[in-house]
Chains A and B, each alone.
Chain A
């Protein structure tokens, strides 16, 4: 007879490093409100969540980030992450908005916004991220009704970031099919972390820890497209030390955002 805990809840503080908040233009999302997001966090034992606005990805970072801040209001469990389009946004204005909202992380979308992740395109933004200690989330892919499943080019990631050892980059939503390139990439570049909401490959957690240790792995859920708890369940069943579990579930994201979960 299999032995399982049918009422599983995490036993460490949890900081979700990959959630979206707000409506999308191309479908009705499962949950688009603060109340709904907090309800799922309470149900699954998630303390805080780093959230970005889908509108900031699909259409306009300035308006999207504004909508995000208005939506969050004064809720201190939802931490804003700003979307950016380095080919359009003015870096000075963007920097001001980041500072005034006390935002520490941004999310960029090279394939969605149709630019190569190359020094000659994003160099100025990487200078800024480095000097302001802003961590940069890059999802492998971001799908909309007008943009299919075009993934980030791993060679561009490698060639650009190998000369940028002081910029913290988080490759978000790595998935099982990315295994052949993501493993050598993270082994070769120590400033890259990974967010694991879609990382369901067999023995995935152990493979990452064996490759890069426990300080560059971030729990994330991809809520509201996906539930918050399955990856937490996996992390709690991987024989991790207390400190590894705490760091992956929250500590590493705390360090990158400057926000404590408790």
Chain B
């Protein structure tokens, strides 16, 4: 039975990535969104050292061209700390972006690094949600997401943290983190697809804090949405994960 429910993709990238042979033509995204039933896609661009350039690309190519279909997500990099606060102010006040995506892997340090402090302080003051990964290649042995986010949620209590690739990924550590801490959401996309990942999180009481994401243009929307649609969970929980939770989180 086909039914209507709002569907928001929380995690997609703008910018060409040619070794996946995918140009970031918004019409290709929209075609996929229409096939899959996705109403709106949250677009970030993390593939440039110049965050100003990246955010403008998101805004000009996607959000302002198709305001009903795309939501802007800001990016800044602590490689250029002198630009961060200006770019954050501009992204949210002028471009009207809805949350911040950080990618510490490209910074070569984890999100705990000092370079992120001014960004977190800014986001805490403005109550802006932040999406980034739970773990990094640079993590010391024994690092857990729980320890990491315990500190974050205490130091920056007004930030809503979204852990990317966590709700449908292999990081069961992230389910524990979200269960024990307030203000943690888990997003579902990823090329891996562990058995029962979504139902595992739901069965741990997290159905209000899971967010569907696609990772376009790397992944196909259909494979990613199917993780939620075909999971062994209730229809109401599917609807929450597909869009209702994102609407609440971002006040859409």
A residues with CB within 8 A of B: 1-8, 30-31, 43-44, 175-176, 179-180, 198, 200-205, 207, 222-227, 229-234, 237-239
Question: Roughly how many angstroms separate A99 CA and B172 CA in the complex, as a whole number?
Answer: 43
A199 → chain B closest CB, angstroms: 8
| CB-defined contacts of A30 to chain B, threshold 8 Å | 194-196
Known: A202-B216, A227-B195. A2 touches B38 (CB 8 A): yes
Contact in complex: A4, B230 (CB < 8 Å): no
Given the contacts A198-B191, A226-B194, A237-B35, A4 and B219 also touching, CB distance less than 8 Å: no
Q: B interface vs A, CB < 8 Å?
A: 1-7, 19-22, 28, 32, 35-39, 191-196, 216-227, 229-232, 235, 238-239, 242-243
Residues of B within 8 A of A222 (CB): 193
CA distance A200 to B20 in the complex (A): 11
Q: From residue A207, how far is it (CB to closest CB) to chain B in Å?
A: 8
A6-B235, A201-B219, A234-B222 known, 15 other contacts, Cβ within 8 Å: A1-B4, A1-B5, A2-B242, A3-B2, A3-B37, A6-B3, A30-B194, A176-B219, A200-B219, A202-B20, A202-B32, A226-B193, A227-B227, A230-B193, A233-B229
Q: Which chain A residues lie closer than 8 Å to B196 at the CB level? A: 30, 227
The minimal Cβ–Cβ distance linking B237 to chain A, given in whole angstroms, is 10
Instruction: Give CA–CA (A207, B2) in the complex, Å.
Output: 27
9 A-B interface contacts by CB (under 8 A): A4-B7, A6-B239, A179-B21, A204-B223, A222-B193, A227-B227, A233-B222, A234-B226, A237-B36
Q: Are B222 and A223 in contact (CB under 8 A)?
A: no
Contact B225 A4 (CB under 8 A): yes
Q: In the complex, which residues of chain B have a beta carbon less than 8 angstroms from the beta carbon of A227? A: 193, 195-196, 227, 230-231
A202 touches B1 (CB 8 A): no
Q: Of the candidates B5, B19, B217, B220, which one forms a contact with A4 in the assembled complex, judged by CB atoms under 8 Å apart?
A: B5
Residues in B whose Cβ lies below 8 Å from that of A232: 226, 230
Most buried by A among B21, B38, B193: B193
Within 8 Å CB of B20, what residues of A?
176, 179, 201-202
Q: How far is the CA of A205 from the CA of B226 in the complex (A)?
A: 15
